[in-house]
Amino acid sequence: MAMDALLDLPQLRTFYTLAQVGSFTACARRLGRTQSAVSHAMAKLEDLAGVLLLDRRSRGLDLTEEGRRLYQACEQAFTTLDAAAEDLKRHQTQARGRLRVGATVEFGSSILMRHMQPFLAANPDLEIDFTLSQDLLAPLLRDDLDLVIDCVEHPLPVLKKAPLFRETYVVACAPAFRKAHRLRVPADLSRCPVLSLDKAGAWWNRFLVAVPDRDQPHLDRFIAVNHVRAMIHAAAEGMGALLVPRYSVLEELERGDLVALFPSIRPTEDRFSIYQKKVKAAQEKQKLLTRYLQSLSPAEFGS
């Protein structure tokens, strides 16, 4: 018996995650893909299996009888494999030496720093420096940095790029602010102050390009605040509307300190990647950090 290409492994993995989180969209976020990708994958899996695995009728997504059986098998199998993979990692050579890491200011200060501790602990002989800055490419090229996490594209042949995660943005403001300014559509922003990371307001472009022409607001009352956390506090106090990475205001949205505006408008996303010089990317310490970062994104970063 051949029994080989009976089921597609990556699709099974997606199915497993989907069954755990209970929604295509959530599964996509967890895996760092789009909802569409998950949908396509499940369609193919069901086609290959020849049976429906998901019950899409009800809210909240059920598994069919067959789906449930398959899920149990997945659980056992993937638990085993993950444990084995974990095990492999443990026996990896520890890195030594020094590693100079660069990252964007917002990402570096809020997200990156909160997740480096386990890596540092696992590699006590590795000295790591962090440099948070807007300009990361130049220092990387002149070897002042070894590894850089950035959201702007650097398509240079000497650089190796490894995708990390995707960052989505939201427009939000204090609930009272929305009432006061009667914010219904993007055009309503014309009348009210908006918080921007830069004085010129270029910060808002990622939002504006996603707004259809007839709804375009004419933003002119900018309040410049060159610090994301500060912007968030200002917005919560009702100083203006803001545009920020979704992850940075999850708590505020949860608590109701801020409300999301215009949910149907999706500002352009940032794709964060790891950049390294190809020659140095082969070094054990750089590979180790790369793998570590990739292992926790996007579930930890994304949102």
Shortest CB 268 distance to DNA, Å: 9
- For residues 228 and 244, the answer to whether their CB atoms sit within 8 Å is yes
Q: Which of 70, 111, 173, 289 binds a second copy (CB under 8 A)?
A: 70
**Which tokens belong to 142?**
């002149």
256 touching DNA, by CB under 7 A: no
**In the range 114-143, which residues lie near a second copy by CB under 8 A?**
none
**In the range 40-59, which residues lie near DNA by CB under 7 A?**
40-44, 54, 56, 59
**Which tokens belong to 123?**
């590699």
Task: Please give the radius of gyration of the chain, using alpha carbons only, rounded to the nearest integer.
Answer: 22
Cα distance between residue 73 and residue 110, in whole Å? 38
Shortest CB 70 distance to a second copy, Å: 5
61 touching a second copy, by CB under 8 A: no
DSSP conformation letters of 7-65: S-HHHHHHHHHHHHH--HHHHHHHHTS-HHHHHHHHHHHHHHHTS--EE-SSTT-EE-H
- Rounded to 5 degrees, what angle do the CA atoms 159, 160, 161 make? 115
Q: Which is nearer to DNA, 15 or 222 (CB)?
A: 15
231 touching a second copy, by CB under 8 A: no
Which does residue 3 bind out of DNA, a second copy, none, counting CB within 5 to 8 angstroms by kind?
a second copy
What is the CB neighbour count within 10 angstroms for residue 180? 12
What is the CB neighbour count within 10 angstroms for residue 117? 9
Contacting positions for DNA (CB under 7 A): 8, 10-11, 14, 23-26, 28, 32-37, 39-44, 54, 56, 59, 61, 163, 166, 262-264
Give the footprint of a second copy on this chain (CB under 8 A): 1-7, 9-10, 12-13, 17, 31, 48-51, 66, 69-70, 72-74, 76-78, 80-89, 91-93, 287-288, 291, 294-300
